[in-house]
A and B are shown apart, each in its own frame.
Chain A
Amino acid sequence: MRHIKTLFEGAFKPGAESCLGGCGECPSSCQSACKTSCTVANQKCEKIGAHLKVRAKKSN
């Protein structure tokens, strides 16, 4: 494509069978982290084992 470069193909496809998910095994609020706000973006999903927090490489 000349005008558009797609960088991420979304994970969510409407109608996918596993659409709702929600096994409830991951942390349920901001409680184990910042304690002042909620953002799911940084939450790990336990089910797919995705570990969103890649431990930062130590610099020299």
Chain B
Amino acid sequence: MVHKYRLNGFNVVLDVNSGSVHLVDEVVYDLLSYLSAADFCQSFEEIELGKLRDVRGAADLRSAYFEILSLWRAGLLFSEAFGVSEADLEEKLSGSPIKSMCLNVAHDCNLRCRYCFASTGDFGAGRKLMNLEVAKSAVDFLLERSGSRHNLEVDFFGGEPLLNFPVVKETVLYARSLEKDKDKKFRFTLTTNGLLLDDYIINFINDEMDNVVLSIDGRKFVNDEMRFDAAGFGSYESIVPKFQKLVSHRSGKDYYVRGTFTKKNLDFSKDVLHLYSLGFDQISIEPVVSDLSNPFAITESDMADVENEYENLMNKMIVMRKKGKCFNFFHFMFDFGNGPCITKRMKGCGCGNEYIAVTPDGEIFPCHQFVGTKEWSMGNVVKKSFNDGLRREFIKANIFSNEGCADCWAKFFCSGGCSANHFKFNGDIRKPYGLACRLQKKRIECAIFLNLVGKLGSAIG
């Protein structure tokens, strides 16, 4: 399978199975529309090229064809699919232990963000904090179920986890106390809206959290339009200095400033650059996940604008990089040579299989976005119950069986998408949501192009 696209006047070709990328001229670009791997068994003269033979010169077509042929022979164009079947993948995944856990330590929040998927913190089920016993049971549950995995991830999430900071702290200490004995390494992440950060908490986070996700949407008016407290005050003024302080003391450890864009800021590249101007260089801005009935929801009619804006952002990044101003935009990051293995590419998300989310009551859901959806309740860490049947449903959500993924050129970068989104919009964890796929593909095209700029230098920028 081959995917070709034009960007900034360049013709880019991705060979889907091998992951090779080529820049091609117009003749090859046209010719590729007519070819498939089966054609290479016949002579060039026999291949059905329709009108192309009249439009392009014979010598040009012929030399272009033989270049394509040589790349096919080298396994870099129209390369074969991997010899891995869906059954192989499922067999491999069915042996996976649980290795990651989202701890919703506070189903409560001190903000009332308009787009909150947790219904402004309580997941629609009443405000509640997790007590330490439940948190310890969750850590025990993870340790018991983690088999031979060494690295275990625990994310403190909510609501706003800092509303329950004492339990965050005690849980970290408890887990750390078991690491040596159990031969495990815990990697903690905390996601926060920033309001409750103070020097003590900042130091604790920078010492103990391997990653920290700082929620801010960008420019002040954009942020404060969506992120405000119960009295209606926007969070921007309070959080920016705290985030700057935290990041300046991070000593190279991972972090993201992470925002959401909505219909109200389809010019979100300005928010990305604003965050960079505040001193942040690890930036993620994501499309809102919301019922389409909300006035800020991103709908079909916004798609072209959002796609253009990704391109716009990419071009701004190219210009800035030339001036030595570099930052990472989460969804444009990747490395062709050293990406994940095939297993990961066939199923990227471990939701409900390797990864679970736990509520303040200890109830288990497949991931943080499923929390509160009763039909997906998987058990309880306090009762040590776990529904393996539901787990198998998630193993089957992969690029072989998700609707449309097997034939999608983006499959080895997207890896089947987000089951929670599929379910939210299509009622089925294996039925990808078309608009999300469209944006995913656009981001991947831009990300590939950004990598090419690195490779070719000024010739392409």
Contact = CB atoms under 8 A, between A and B. Distances in A.
Contact of B151 (A14, A25, A45): A25
A8 B393 CA distance: 36
Contact of A53 (B213, B254, B324, B354): B254
Contact of B369 (A3, A24, A36, A45): A36
Given A20-B84, A53-B254, A40 B413 contact: yes
B368 A35 contact: yes
Contact of A15 (B83, B92, B326, B417): B83
Contacts of A18: 341
A58 B339 CA distance: 25
B135 interface: no
Contacts of A27: 100, 153
A10 to B, nearest CB: 3
Contacts of B128: none
B15 interface: yes
A37 B286 contact: yes
Nearest to A46: B151
Question: Majority SS of interface residues in chain B?
Answer: mixed
B28 interface: yes
Nearest to A59: B325
A56 B256 CA distance: 13
Contacts of A9: 18, 20, 76
A7 B23 contact: yes
B48 to A, nearest CB: 20
Q: Interface SS of chain A: helix, strand, loop or mixed?
A: loop
A28 to B, nearest CB: 3
Interface stretch (B234-242, B300-308, B327-335, B376-384): B327-335
B444 interface: yes
Contact of A22 (B92, B157, B324): B92
B161 interface: no
Nearest to B338: A50
Contacts of B71: 4, 6
A58 to B, nearest CB: 7
A14 to B, nearest CB: 4
Given A22-B341, A52-B333, A60-B324, A29 B19 contact: no
A15 B453 CA distance: 31
A25 B415 contact: no
B326 A10 contact: no
Contacts of B351: 29
A18 B84 CA distance: 11
B157 A35 contact: yes
Contact of B348 (A7, A13, A36, A40): A40
B340 interface: yes
A36 B211 CA distance: 16
A1 B342 contact: no
Interface stretch (B62-70, B197-205, B219-227, B291-299): B62-70
Nearest to A42: B333
6 nearest interchain CB pairs? Answer: A21-B341, A22-B343, A50-B338, A10-B18, A28-B350, A10-B19
Interface of A: 1-15, 18-43, 45-48, 50, 52-60
Interface of B: 13, 15, 17-25, 27-28, 63-64, 67-68, 70-71, 75-76, 79-84, 88-89, 92, 96-97, 99-100, 102, 149-151, 153, 155, 157, 187, 189, 191, 210-211, 213, 252, 254, 256, 258, 260, 281-282, 284, 286-287, 289, 323-328, 330-331, 333-345, 348-351, 353-355, 367-369, 412-418, 421, 436, 440, 443-444, 447, 451-452, 455-456
